[in-house]
Structure 1
């Protein structure tokens, strides 16, 4: 197996003295989803977090990390970030704003340290996986370590799961 070239994310974590594990996987342009990353690395989707970048109407860019199989609740995102509303930035805006591309966006090592929020579900997990800043590479580390290096806050960010029961929708 060839040696993995360190990404900027890994260098930042090394400099901060944070321990992490690296997992690599094959990807295609056709499927850059976090669910693919979870399946390809053999990790539970509850432990693989995607990084979403938003733009708040009052406070500008804001970063959200949520489990890959969940959907960001924009009302919750706006509330926790001190905005009236938040829109997700278009993938074409990502490189200029963050330095990352779709499928390789990490909360660690963006061009600027933006306000960052990690879904509260991470608190109950010993290790979570985030992008190492490059497609096909994930880093696994403790949620508190991501919080420390990004100055993030934990918050309830995801939409409630909807369960169909006897033909009715129930939250």
Structure 2
């Protein structure tokens, strides 16, 4: 199957919901590809390509955070945004069990369950953002407001100073 014919679950959800988006692909090597490399492969500004991070609170609740690929998540700010005392990143080995996705292909769209999701407020200032389409080698570009509405998320200040 050529890359043009691949439809990920996230892409199918966007199609089903009739959300305007662009489907993008990038070359994948056997080495893990980080978000900065993905952005450069796509010819996108680092400020418009976002990564999806999953955390867990002591309350056992999972929270999802979507931030620019070149930035770091402030766990303090993230905890404040969701009303928790503190958060920890989940272990890489747990990503599939929690989200249904794998490392490098975790999308905020179409996870196994709907988790409280926060997108960094920097997304409000740009026309479109690019996030994982749910499979390594694939991304989707869409309006940040469309993404917020689809995943029932909210904007928050999340980036480490």
Query: Within 2, Cα distance between the matches of 1:140 and 1:104?
Result: 15
> Whose helix proportion is higher, 1 or 2?
2
Query: What's the counterpart of residue 140 of structure 2?
Result: 139
2:12 counterpart SS class? helix
> What is the DSSP-based 3-state SS (H/G/I as helix, E as strand, rest coil) of the residue aligned with 1:35?
helix
Q: Distance in 2 between matches of 1:29 and 1:77?
A: 32
TM-score (normalizing by structure 2):
0.96
Aligned partner of 2:53 in structure 1 is 52
Question: 2:69 — aligned with what?
Answer: 68
Paired residues in the alignment total: 160
Is residue 154 of structure 2 the alignment partner of residue 153 of structure 1?
A: yes
Structure with the greater alpha carbon radius of gyration = 1
Specify the alignment match of 1:165 in structure 2: none
Q: In the alignment, what sits opposite 2:123?
A: 122
Structure 1 equivalent of residue 96 of structure 2: 95
User: How far has the Cα of 1:56 moved from its partner?
Assistant: 1.3
Corresponding residue for residue 33 of structure 1: 34
Higher RCO structure, 1 or 2 (CA under 8 Å, sep 6+) = 2
2:5 is paired with a residue whose SS is coil
Alpha-carbon contact 1:23-1:139 (below 8 Å) kept: yes
Contact persistence 1:58–1:82 (CA under 8 A): no
Check the 8 A contact 1:73/1:157 in 2, yes or no: yes
Q: CA contact under 8 A between 1:104 and 1:133: conserved in structure 2?
A: yes
- Structure 2 CA distance for aligned equivalents of residues 11 and 145 of structure 1: 15
Task: Tell whether 2:19 aligns with 1:14.
Answer: no
- Residue 59 of structure 1, CA deviation: 5.7
With structure 1 as the length reference, what TM-score do the two structures score? 0.90
The Cα offsets for residues 8-28 of structure 1, whole Å up to 9 and x where unpaired, read as 001111111101001110122
Q: 1:123 aligns to what SS in structure 2?
A: helix
Kindly state the Cα deviation for residue 101 of structure 1 after the two structures are TM-superposed.
0.2
